[in-house]
Structure 1
Amino acid sequence: MGNFTFAFFEINPISERDGWRLCDFCCANENHLSRFFPSTLASNLNPTLSKLFVEKKVSEFIKNEEYLFTLKEPQNRNIIGLVYVKAIDLAKNEAELAYCIDYNQANKGYTTIAVETISKWTLQLPNIHTLRIIVYKTNIGSIRVAEKCGYLWKETLLKEHTPPNEDPLDMELYVLKNER
């Protein structure tokens, strides 16, 4: 369920074996993750925390509550990115996608491929018809990914996200609909 292989990376559902790799990814990308993925970062600052985080995310995946996918290099299995399908609202038939990539892997097109792949996978789920991506206006790379994957800007969400030790930020909402 949800394994995808490409030339330079693969996408897999989170696995119990990912604890150390996820800890390594988060620690190596601490500055990159701290503003928009503070909970993921805080939950993966050491191997013990990562093990607990991974167990929770595997359980959520199995229960269809939230889906976390890893992007891995095929040769050494290092995690180079994450794609979440979260905030699943079955009453509204929608979910949110959130994603991040290792700073060394940025601008290679991997994130676009991953978001496009997971968007298609998610929209095949029976109760999800709309996907949302919420991004900060200065994150041009993330906006470009959303647009390349067919997401359309819908509105500015006022004070939508509060990074650690910062005032609330207005965020941009991009939407992809699957009209069934």
Structure 2
Amino acid sequence: MNSFQLQNFEINPISERDGWRLCDFCCANENHLSRFFPSTLASNLNPTLSKLFVEKKVSEFIKHKEYLFTLKEPQNRKIIGLVYVKAIDLAKNEAELAYCIDYNQANKGYTTIAVETISKWALQLSNIYTLQILVHKTNIGSIRVAEKCGYLWKETLKKSFIPPNEEPLDMELYVLENER
């Protein structure tokens, strides 16, 4: 499995040792994650749930069904972010990229570096030619990350995401295609 050692953080495939760290990350960022990562948050509210979540994600990674990467501080191994390669559609040779960063680490460029790194990695897989990022128009930081990483706005997807206890939201679709 691929790991990426960068100057201020590292990117690693999810590991069975990540349960406690992931629980800590989700609990510390509950307000930050509750709207657009409700399933991840709900699956990591205590160490027992996190252990089950991590086991499932490790299995999905090995089976190439979904890839979850953690961003960690190298000195203390604390998780500071996540990048998913998910919704893999082999018939269309595409996947979705989703990402989040610890609120204390926002605006440091880590998310852009991680999205760029994992996008390049995913597009080297033999069965993925197109990556998509779905973002709400109010998430200016995420839009900037997508654009800095070469993703191009394609269209507005009407009522395509339903946050907890909210009406469906329109989401902006950004696409990155591999020239093969």
Equivalent position amino acid for 2:143 in 1:
I
User: Aligned residue for 2:53?
Assistant: 53
Give the secondary-structure state (helix, strand or coil) at the position aligned to 1:164: coil
Counterparts of 2:178 and 2:8, CA distance in 1: 29
Counterparts of 1:2 and 1:99, CA distance in 2: 18
User: Aligned residue for 1:176?
Assistant: 176
Matches of residues 107-126 of structure 1 in structure 2 within 5 Å? 107-126=107-126
User: Aligned residue for 1:156?
Assistant: 156
Equivalent position amino acid for 1:10 in 2:
E
Counterparts of 1:118 and 1:108, CA distance in 2: 18
Show structure 2 runs of 5+ residues with no match.
none
Counterparts of 1:53 and 1:113, CA distance in 2: 25
What is the CA RMSD across the aligned residues, in angstroms? 0.3
1:140 aligns with 2:132: no
Cα offsets for 1:52-92 (capped at 9, x unmatched)? 00000000000000000000000000000000000000000
Matches of residues 59-78 of structure 1 in structure 2 within 5 Å? 59-78=59-78
Counterparts of 1:9 and 1:116, CA distance in 2: 14
Deviating above 6 A after TM superposition, structure 1's stretches of 4 or more consecutive aligned residues are none
Equivalent position amino acid for 1:104 in 2:
N
Equivalent position amino acid for 2:8 in 1:
F
Counterparts of 1:165 and 1:94, CA distance in 2: 30
Counterparts of 2:16 and 2:27, CA distance in 1: 19
What's the TM-score, normalizing by structure 1? 1.00
User: Aligned residue for 2:38?
Assistant: 38
Give the secondary-structure state (helix, strand or coil) at the position aligned to 1:22: helix
Show structure 1 runs of 5+ residues with no match.
none
The structural deviation recorded for 1:179 is 1.6
What's the TM-score, normalizing by structure 2? 1.00
Counterparts of 1:55 and 1:103, CA distance in 2: 26
The structural deviation recorded for 1:7 is 1.0
Counterparts of 1:33 and 1:58, CA distance in 2: 21
Counterparts of 1:17 and 1:105, CA distance in 2: 22
Counterparts of 1:125 and 1:91, CA distance in 2: 14
Counterparts of 2:9 and 2:108, CA distance in 1: 11
